């Protein structure tokens, strides 16, 4: 299993040649605090890898070096910890941790971030916190590793707590590690902390760290989530490069706020920029076209582009076509699009039913309910009431 990009970048940082050379050439300080080793209770909670899984060779290497009474160099420890991290073997990593702790020739504190990364990648966050809370010194990489660990587990509240603690520990200084800020902005989005996300963006803008692609994309998604489309567009316009996902994110934001003219304008700009449009792009634009009251003119053009892009058979696009033609009063086109759907979900059924009821076609709406029942679908009370109200009026 490959290590995710944020962890991979930290892995490279922790194993850089300059760091290893510095460890080799620097004598240990006169008085050095031991790295905290996991307690027996914590070690028992670490699950050993099964026989079917690839085990690391750290135990064999450590026993051989000890039997020969050879000192273990810093780069050897680094290599062993990297192997444990790559193989997700926390138990073997804990053995290396213990060996480093009881050694007397190597400044153990230098290995703290590497050990922390190993525990986090292996999913042993409890052991990682035990180490982190007792580290004699912590740097931005230390905080980043722990933040990434909780971000990977979607523990957004803990991500924000750690981020704020890191700022307090560094006297209010914001470390511009882009991947960390991306996790923080995502956490603000998920936890609905708008003011905190806005403050982080403001600090980044003053420091000139808003041109990073991933960071800019997360800021656009953040502002779109809260309906602040002007701020989202400002970040969007300043991006040196824009992928299809970020274009679609802006389109979805405009559509959600019922700004349908901007949806079409951005869709056209996306085409001129030569960006590939996916099924989410087309479904959002078709939704906007169904609410523009132009007799389906724009919707037909977008439909033609969906066919050209090869996404017409996508379920999201098909349901959006039914919805768009139904909203525009083009029931024959809506019916044709509906009949082309091989596996219909509740969204497509509801779109077709709404098209019938909006045009006062009660008989067709009732027939559709019977068709749903014949397909073994339990009729939602809301859909039955929708037909009842339409027919009663």
Regarding predicted confidence, which is higher, 94 or 166?
166
> DSSP 3-state assignment of 265?
helix
CB crowding 174-192: b at 16 or more within 10 Å, else e: bbbbbbbbbbbbbbbbeee
What is the rounded average pLDDT of the residues 15-42?
Answer: 39
Q: Can you give the residue ranges of every domain in the chain?
A: 1-122, 154-239, 242-393
Instruction: Identify the pLDDT of residue 7.
Output: 52
What is the rounded average pLDDT of the residues 132-146?
Answer: 86
387 neighbors 362 (Cβ within 8 angstroms):
yes
CA within 13 Å, CB half, 351? 33
Please tell me the chain's helix, strand, coil percentages from 3-state DSSP, rounded to the nearest 5.
70, 0, 30
Instruction: Identify the pLDDT of residue 256.
Output: 92
- Cα(187)–Cα(150) distance, integer angstroms: 10
pLDDT in tens, 142-168: 899 999 999 999 999 999 999 999 888
Number of helices followed by number of strands (H, E) in the chain: 23, 0
Percent of the chain at pLDDT exceeding 90: 44
- Residue 185 pLDDT level (bands cut at 50, 70, 90): very high
- Residue 21 pLDDT level (bands cut at 50, 70, 90): very low
For every residue of 269-317, DSSP letters joined together read: HHHHTTPPP-HHHHHHHHHHHTTS-STTHHHHHHHHHHHHHT-TTSHHH
What is the rounded average pLDDT of the residues 20-49?
Answer: 42
- Cα(150)–Cα(120) distance, integer angstroms: 9
- Residue 81 pLDDT level (bands cut at 50, 70, 90): confident
For residue 110, is pLDDT > 60? Answer: yes
187 neighbors 151 (Cβ within 8 angstroms):
yes
Instruction: Identify the pLDDT of residue 66.
Output: 59
- Residue 360 has what DSSP assignment? T
Instruction: Identify the pLDDT of residue 49.
Output: 53
Instruction: Identify the pLDDT of residue 172.
Output: 65
pLDDT in tens, 322-373: 999 999 999 999 999 999 998 899 999 999 999 999 888 999 999 999 999 9
Regarding predicted confidence, which is higher, 131 or 111?
131
Phi, psi values for residue 311, rounded to 5°: -115, 10
- Residue 43 pLDDT level (bands cut at 50, 70, 90): very low
For residue 212, is pLDDT > 90? Answer: no
Among 3.40.1160.10, 1.10.10.10, 1.25.40.10, 3.40.50.1100, name the CATH number for the domain at 242-393. Answer: 1.25.40.10
pTM of the predicted protein model: 0.75
pLDDT in tens, 281-323: 999 999 999 998 888 899 999 999 999 999 999 989 999 999 9
115 neighbors 101 (Cβ within 8 angstroms):
no
Q: Select from 189, 235, 184 the least CA-distant residue to 212.
A: 235
86 neighbors 64 (Cβ within 8 angstroms):
no
Instruction: Identify the pLDDT of residue 174.
Output: 67
224 neighbors 250 (Cβ within 8 angstroms):
yes
- Cα(20)–Cα(35) distance, integer angstroms: 18
Instruction: Identify the pLDDT of residue 71.
Output: 63
Instruction: Identify the pLDDT of residue 93.
Output: 79
Q: Give the mean pLDDT of the chain.
A: 81
Instruction: Identify the pLDDT of residue 14.
Output: 55
- Cα(223)–Cα(201) distance, integer angstroms: 11
- Residue 54 pLDDT level (bands cut at 50, 70, 90): very low
Cα 259 to Cα 55, 152, 175, 255, 256: the distances in Å are 56, 34, 37, 6, 8
**Residue with token string 């510095």:** 22
284 neighbors 252 (Cβ within 8 angstroms):
yes
Best-predicted range by mean pLDDT (23-37, 135-149, 165-179): 135-149
Token pair for residue 257? 């706020």
């Amino acid at each position: 299993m490959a290590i995710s990009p944020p962890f991979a970048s930290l892995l490279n940082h922790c194993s850089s040649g300059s760091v290893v050379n510095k460890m080799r050439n620097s004598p240990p300080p006169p008085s050095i605090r031991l790295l905290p080793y996991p307690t027996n209770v914590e070690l028992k909670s670490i699950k050993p890898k099964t026989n079917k899984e690839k085990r690391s060779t750290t135990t064999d290497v450590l026993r051989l070096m000890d039997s020969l009474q050879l000192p273990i160099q810093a780069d050897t420890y680094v290599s062993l910890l990297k192997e444990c991290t790559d193989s997700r073997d926390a138990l073997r990593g804990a053995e290396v941790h213990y060996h480093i702790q009881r050694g007397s020739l190597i400044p153990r504190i230098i290995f703290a971030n590497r050990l922390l990364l190993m525990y986090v990648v292996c999913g042993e966050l409890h052991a990682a916190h035990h180490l982190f809370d007792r580290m004699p010194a912590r740097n931005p990489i230390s905080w980043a590793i722990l933040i990434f660990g909780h971000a990977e587990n979607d523990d957004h509240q803990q991500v924000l707590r750690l981020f704020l603690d890191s700022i307090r520990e560094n006297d209010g200084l914001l470390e511009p590690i882009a991947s960390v800020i991306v996790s923080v902005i995502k956490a603000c989005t998920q936890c609905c902390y708008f003011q905190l996300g806005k403050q982080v963006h403001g600090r980044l803008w003053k420091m000139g760290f808003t041109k990073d692609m991933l960071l800019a994309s997360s800021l656009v998604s953040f502002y779109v989530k809260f309906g602040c489309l002007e701020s989202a567009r400002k970040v969007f316009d300043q991006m040196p490069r824009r992928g299809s996902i970020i274009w679609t994110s802006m389109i979805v934001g405009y559509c959600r706020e019922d700004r349908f003219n901007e949806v079409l304008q951005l869709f056209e700009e996306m085409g001129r920029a030569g960006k590939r449009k996916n099924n989410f792009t087309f479904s959002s634009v078709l939704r906007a076209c169904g609410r523009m009251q132009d007799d389906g003119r724009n919707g037909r053009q977008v439909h033609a582009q969906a066919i050209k892009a090869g996404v017409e058979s996508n379920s999201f696009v098909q349901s959006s076509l039914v919805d768009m033609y139904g909203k525009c009063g083009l029931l024959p086109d809506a019916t044709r699009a509906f009949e082309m759907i091989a596996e219909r979900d509740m969204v497509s059924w509801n779109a077709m039913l709404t098209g019938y009821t909006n045009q006062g076609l009660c008989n067709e709406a009732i027939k559709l309910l019977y068709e749903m029942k014949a397909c073994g679908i339990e009729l939602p009370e809301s859909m039955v009431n929708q037909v009842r109200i339409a027919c009663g009026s």
